[in-house]
């Protein structure tokens, strides 16, 4: 118990007066990260397309914690929007300590049926959004020797059928972040990948089908999934401890282990798991 209290105190001290940017902050992991960082003393910049939602979150955080909050409407798939929210952050706070690339969209359809513009949209948000945001934040994070984080997925390490575009985008983010980490091995910049297993959030509701329409109700039972709040706590812990890669959730860790040592078995297990989903694409 004492160790838990001490670590909570340490993270609070570490985060005090930091400037943390969170993309995709209107719901799910991004929203949970905003609260987790704020209660530890970090000022937060909330970036999302749904301004009305981040405005509400901003007001709530202001009422609960003694931190500053800036809510910015932006579409991270647009390069100029990414440049804009970085500039607004600098104009407001004068520095950036932490960038958390969290915004993302999912996709669920067999590749044979999938319109190519859907894959492009997924790549634009998940991959290019991370690249654009990091590019414009990097000069300032170099000055603070801060952290660049990408919230990805176990699907960026172990693929899923009917998620070709989504998995490709997450694999691309992993490659980008791993290369960036080595580039900055001696600069003091911390680069971390956070890869959770299934998280109960809106992402599956907004997953894109073959024609680009949204899926709606999740095809999976979300009761046994990770909560956004637990994932947020793990990510913040990873930042304070300067972790390299974080696999979050036992199911994901087991899946990665099985894939490494028994890849053919894991392929078949994944196939039959997805086949059993409600309204399975198979």
Identify the pLDDT of residue 212.
83
Tell me the per-residue pLDDT of 96-149, one tens digit each, with 9 for 90 and over.
999 999 999 999 999 999 999 999 999 999 999 999 999 999 999 999 999 999
Tell me the per-residue pLDDT of 198-215, one tens digit each, with 9 for 90 and over.
887 666 577 889 888 887
Report how far residue 29's alpha carbon sits from residue 231's, in angstroms, rounded to the nearest whole number.
Answer: 7
The C-alpha angle 125, 244, 145, rounded to 5 degrees, equals 85
**Parts of the chain with a pLDDT under 50:** 7
Residues 72 and 117 sit within 8 Å (Cβ to Cβ): no
Report how far residue 245's alpha carbon sits from residue 56's, in angstroms, rounded to the nearest whole number.
Answer: 32
Domain spanning 2-250: CATH superfamily: NAD(P)-binding Rossmann-like Domain (3.40.50.720)
Give this prediction's pTM.
Answer: 0.91
Active site residue 166: yes
Q: Which of 166, 171, 271, 272 is catalytic?
A: 166
Q: Sign of dihedral through CA atoms 252, 257, 259, 265?
A: negative
Q: Which of these, 55, 148, 53, lies nearest to 96 by C-alpha position?
A: 148
Identify the pLDDT of residue 219.
58
- Domain residues of the chain, as ranges? 2-250
177-182 long-range Cβ contacts below 8 angstroms, 24+ apart: 177/130, 177/148, 177/150, 180/134, 180/148, 181/244
Identify the pLDDT of residue 221.
59
* Sequence-ordered list of residues with C-beta below 8 angstroms from that of 171, at least 6 positions apart, any chain: 156, 157, 159
């Amino acid at each position: 118990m004492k160790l838990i209290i001490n670590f909570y105190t340490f993270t609070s001290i570490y985060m005090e007066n930091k400037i943390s940017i969170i993309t995709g902050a209107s719901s799910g992991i991004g929203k949970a990260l905003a609260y987790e960082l704020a209660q530890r003393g970090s000022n937060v910049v909330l970036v999302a397309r749904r301004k009305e939602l981040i405005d509400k979150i901003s007001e709530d955080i202001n009422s609960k914690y003694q931190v500053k909050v800036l809510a910015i409407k932006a579409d991270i798939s647009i390069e100029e929007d990414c440049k804009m929210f970085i500039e607004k952050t600098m104009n407001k706070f004068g520095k950036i300590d932490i960038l958390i690339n969290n915004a993302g969209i999912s996709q669920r359809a067999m590749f044979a049926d999938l319109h190519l513009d859907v894959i492009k949209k997924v790549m634009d948000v998940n991959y290019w959004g991370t690249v654009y945001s990091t590019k414009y934040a990097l000069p300032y994070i170099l000055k603070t020797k801060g952290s660049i984080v990408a919230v990805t997925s176990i699907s960026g390490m172990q693929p899923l059928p009917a998620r070709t575009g989504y998995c490709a985008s997450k694999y691309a983010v992993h490659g980008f972040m791993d290369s960036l980490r080595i580039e900055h091995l001696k600069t003091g910049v911390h680069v971390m990948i956070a890869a959770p297993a299934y998280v109960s959030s809106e992402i599956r509701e907004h997953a894109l089908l073959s024609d680009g329409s949204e899926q709606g109700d999740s095809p999976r039972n979300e009761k046994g999934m990770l909560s956004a709040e637990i994932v947020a706590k793990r990510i913040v812990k990873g930042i304070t401890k300067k972790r390299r890669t974080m696999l979050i959730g036992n199911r994901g860790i087991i899946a990665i282990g099985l894939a490494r040592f028994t890849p053919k078995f894991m392929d078949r297990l994944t196939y039959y798991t997805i086949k059993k989903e409600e309204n399975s694409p198979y």
